[in-house]
Structures are given as C-alpha cells and as structure tokens.
Chain A
C-alpha cells in the first residue's frame, strides 16, 4: 500500500502510523457532555467503503494526513494535510 503525503509525495505505507477515523479532528467542547464525548472517542461509522482516516507521516515529515480511502478495495482516493482539513472546518 502506498500513500501520497501532501508534502513528501507517494511513500510506502511503512512510513506512516495509522490512528483511526478522521472524526478525531472534531474534538467536542469540554462541556459537551458524556454522550457526545463517548461518541467522539468510541463510536464509529466504520464503513465498508469510502472512509476518511488519520495517518501520521512518522518516518517522514511528521504531518498528520487525512486519507480518503476505500476499506474494501484499499484504494487510496485522496490525501490532505490534517491542518488544512481542520482549517476548512472538516
């Protein structure tokens, strides 16, 4: 599997660390309540199909990358820097 880091280009999957769904970007307000926090941290759409998840270019530039990917075919559809996605209010 190869992932295109927006800064470094196409790299082997070995250079990246995976952490989970890109909902991680949407940290709730501290006072949002137990349900919201439970949902944020634990519950997942977990689609069999296209998903967005978080990859860290650990053996590269240190960027967190949002990867749009298909969980069934493993096709990588697109990548973007997490900080840009965050800026877009993703």
Chain B
C-alpha cells in the first residue's frame, strides 16, 4: 500500500478506513536463512537491505521489546557526515547519501531536514583541528565550510559572543547535515522490510546462540528455538550480553547518554548547533521542542536514565552558549545506552564463529549511521565480504593497532569518546 498525499486525501474523504498495518507481526518460523537479533534501526535497515539489495527475504528480525525501542527511538535525531579519519569518513559519507534518498526509497516520510550543522570552535588550535576535519570532509566529496564570526553572527544572532567563557572564533558548517524524525526511520525500514517478506517478530528475546563445530546454527528464544544459516547480532546497548551467548567478550563498555526536550515553541533555532567546549548540541524539532544533549554520564550503566550533574552541566552550557533559551522549559529527559568502543568507532565484522556477524560499538554515532550500517551489514552477511565504506570496522583493529579511528584522540578508555 503506497503512501502519498493523494492517499491521505482519499482516505480522509472515506473515513480513514482503508489504512493497513505498517508492517506484519510475524510468528517465528522454525528456520530462516538469516536471523537478525535486534529490531532497532540498524537491525531493521539490515533486514531491509538484505531483501532489497541481495534478494534475501527468508529473514527474521527478533526484537525482545518493540521495534525501534532502543537508541533509534531515544536520540537527538542528528544526521551528518563530518568525520575526518579514514574509515569513518567514507562510511558516514555513504550513509548520508542514503539518507538523502531515503524517503523516496522507503515511501515513508522520515522528515530528513538538511538544515545544516555548525560546530563552533573557540581557539586558534581548535580552528586548526576543525580545518583539518573540514578538509578531510571535502576530500571525501562531502560539504564543509568555515564560517567567520561575522557570518555566524548573521546566521546565529542569538549566540552569546560577548559575555562567554570561551569566545567563539568561528564554526565549521555542513549544510547537508540536519535532523530526521527518529521513530519514522525505524518504522519506515520495518515497513519496507516487511513488504519484502522479512518476518518482524516483537516480544521475542534471544536467550542463546546455537553453535556446532565453529558454525552458528540458530538461536534460542523466549518463543522457541529458531534455526538459521546466518545470525547477526545488532543489539547496541546489549551487545556484551548477546555476544557472550556466543562466547565472545567485546571491547565495549555501556554508558548512559542523556537527551532532553523542551516544551513546544515557535521556531527559534534553525540549525543544528554544536558547542564542543561545553559538550552541548541543540536543534529544534518540527514540533517546536528544543532537542539537545551533552556528554555521557561517564559511568558504566544499563539504566536508561541519568543523574543531575550532567543534566545541570548541559543546561549551563546551553545558557552559556545561547542565553535566550533560558525561559524554555525542559519537558522530558531520558537516557540511551551507548556501546562505547575503545576508539569511539563501531564494529561491523564477521566473528570467529562461522555465519555469526557482529554490528556494535556505535558510541553516539548510531542514528546517522542507520542507513549505511544496514547497507554494509547486509552486504557483509550476503557476500561474506566487507562492503568498501565499512571495510575498516574490524574487530581485530584493537589488537593489531591497525586502522584505529580515534576521532577524539582520547585513547582506549571507552567512555572518553
């Protein structure tokens, strides 16, 4: 059933009686070609691209809760491709290109809004580092430009350029960056995958991964055993637990990242603004809420909630950067569980168990990666070879030291990225 303005009109005139489920709720079959553990953004997009790009449709997505209930539904919705290290650069570049065609591809309005992201800098040294980043982005073929303070004042007149602890020296802007409606991304992929024959199974928790002779053979679930030729673990936030079912110990430490939204307000912030010195970033949703976030709570956690020190720090940073938001009221705060990896970059790889694939370690980069991650993971599952844009996301890079992608330069301490 296609979605369109005409369809909305026709249904509206006939009592909205013709709408169908966006996806089928399937009951588990006894065997699949591919079982994807995890019905979040990455799992659903992987299923979608397995079906669409590789014609593999005998696929089940197993979700212990509800589809899209993990980090895809609890992030700050930012989409961008402004990484600078080889590996990340080409991956996020590819992902952004997929974003730009996603609505037409999925026939689902995920409300990608390329309103531009501006990363501010506050010293000569930061300008140099930002220039290096911007040039790397341009080398990759994506857009980036340096904005002077004068240009910033015209674009973001509400920033505090005077009474601020860290004066603004300028900004690095990516115009193609922006935001998208996070839930819709999960639902759009779910619908697309379901239409192509993928079984989406909610309330189905995986309790074991079956292996025989170094090969994966299926999974045990709360809804029975399911045989599978290939299994992919795509469960950011629970990666360590699920991987342990296959005897793996991952280079992951789980941390809580809080996010915040205010009451709805008339448009006042048109861009995504990032204030690195204050660990603060903000945009305004189409509904009018200011959506913003900051740094990790900085202790290992599986609670989808945080504590006041970071809440307050984020608000202080916001007030420092743009004191005009003072009278906006925080409506809701929540937390997501981040798979923090030792270099701040993700893992998309095979494992030592044949037929078992791993997609994890997204740190805070997960949302914007959803299309690219699914695309590349599907490629890896289908062809057993790494998809070029994600070819560096190897699990063994920490052991060998080859191809580490430490964008922050903070080293192997998981929570510092």
Contacts and interface: CB of A to CB of B under 8 A. Distances in A.
Interface in B172-203: none
A20 interface: yes
A71 B300 contact: yes
Given A20-B300, A45-B240, A51-B300, A39 B412 contact: no
B70 interface: no
Contacts of A69: 299
B371 to A, nearest CB: 27
Contacts of A74: 301, 303, 307
Contacts of B307: 1, 13, 74
A38 B398 CA distance: 7
Given A19-B413, A48-B241, A43 B250 contact: yes
Contact of A46 (B254, B342, B398): B254
B254 A72 contact: no
B90 interface: no
Contact of A71 (B250, B302, B412): B302
Interface of B: 238, 240-241, 249-254, 298-303, 307, 309, 342, 398-400, 412-415
Given A42-B342, A44-B414, 18 more contacts: A1-B299, A12-B309, A13-B309, A18-B298, A18-B415, A19-B413, A34-B399, A39-B249, A43-B249, A44-B253, A46-B250, A46-B300, A48-B238, A48-B240, A48-B241, A48-B254, A48-B302, A71-B300
27 contacts: A12-B309, A14-B309, A20-B414, A21-B300, A34-B399, A38-B399, A42-B251, A42-B399, A43-B249, A44-B250, A44-B251, A44-B414, A46-B252, A47-B240, A48-B240, A48-B254, A48-B302, A53-B299, A71-B300, A71-B302, A71-B303, A72-B302, A72-B303, A73-B303, A74-B301, A74-B303, A74-B307
